[in-house]
Structure 1
């Protein structure tokens, strides 16, 4: 099996929540990829697990020749790798390993510990194997982790070349308009919340996420920026171009839902609801009642919102740093499980799709969501 097929299999597992802890990430993702990249994972002197550094241990030491570490891999639970660079760098500096990799199975961070600057500035590349193009994932993993490239020194040279590559700044600048357009099109929850909070501070009333999303997608941001420019407030500032943002209708959303048909149709049976959030609540209650393990699998998915969870055991995890939203915008869907409710209809549709993937259902076939216009 080629590395592309291995990546595709891992992507499916991540989306289905099959890697709930570090051990499953190590065995089901890291070792699987290393094997696909030519490493003899059965040879513990080449792929050395729990490599000892005095009283400390690093998860894997890649050795070439056998017994001589040339790269360290530190493994974390999916979504829990933030802030682990310091420990990894201490390991690498201890014996002068030139390449350090921090991964939670989904995100792969490649570092040159001997580079200059803080930890982030010494990162050569960050790869999300779920979000990035399959060919790009395969190419980057081969470039930095292929056994042949590590053994020959080509991987270290490639990392050093990439580290020095000044085109990174140009690439980031070129991607900014696209990123802004995607944030608007995807109805980024944090952006919607920031705008809604500011509106409330100005007039005392807080718009719902759908109103803010519509405002942004209709290009009001662009018009406001143009007005500022035309009024001469800042004629010398270059305005950031805004990529066109188009609404995305997920396959499971039924068009033209009337108030009488709000809810969802599951395997041909209509479940009426008062509104989109009530439909989502009912759907989660139904899935958890049918399969209690569903909640744990869904909660272990690597990404929910950008900084929050859609389903959590602790209601505070739904809205970190926002106890007001935790109180006002959450629903208990099962003993010990809370669902966040401050979402636009598009985000609700996305949550329905995520739940379908975890439950093994086909969106648009097994489930249709009637969420209204």
Structure 2
């Protein structure tokens, strides 16, 4: 088995390549590459020429007796591949072949024949031996055409991932425009969550029709993204930040109530009944508040089960109801810990109310 990198270099440097006939392309290019990718080109069980499908003959078929066979159709170097793809893919589709390649030795077009859409949409990869760099060519051949990759199923899995991502990229602008024209309730709910968690608006008092109207009236250009970003302002901001280095000694630490907007704030400590408690995270503050209150009022623990978000509880005896549950000390109750700073501040206010405290009994020391 020859080295793939050397084979590609040799083919790239072949000045007569574009004049080769179909037979020359097959023997001087295709079979050399297949051999370097681990295929036994002399075994008809691995590489079979002139494979019959009805009245049509496929030039080469890899694994002809395997359900994961690969069709390879070969044309002379000067041939335009565009007019040959439909015939190849029609027969591949009829035969139930998942993977097909159309090549003139220079251009290699890789297809998933059983996917939906026209033939062009089923093309997931193009390799051009003359234009692409050697590393890119060898990586793609190894990933999609090596014997090991085909037999293991990695090639088809990666191909389907590329195909799927291309399809998603195409439909995302359409989906987003539809959402703006007729807002999906999930998007409306997300905005309500932000209004509730960050700005403390009571969700019951938020007019959903106002949000829907805003989304419908929102005019946005999906492509190009440059319209959403002023490149000059980005450069100016970068230069300004670079020239104005922050002195950590000048950072102000402030004391806030639990009603403050803590987005992008790092907590240092909190105060409860005039006692200071140093913490390293917002989660630590939540757990410490719970610990302090439960020590004072253990009989009220089940009241925590009444605290719920819009779509999920914050406390539960069933940890499967929570995304990141943590068991509360020596109890059978779990607390949700996958929460933002503002969500934790809101829950802390609710906990204080449940235990009979005014929310201003807790103050937070934080920096931005």
Whether TM exceeds 0.5 here: the answer is no
Which has more radius of gyration? Answer: 2
Q: TM-score, structure 2 length as denominator? A: 0.44
The structure showing larger relative contact order (alpha-carbon pairs under 8 Å, at least 6 residues apart) is 1
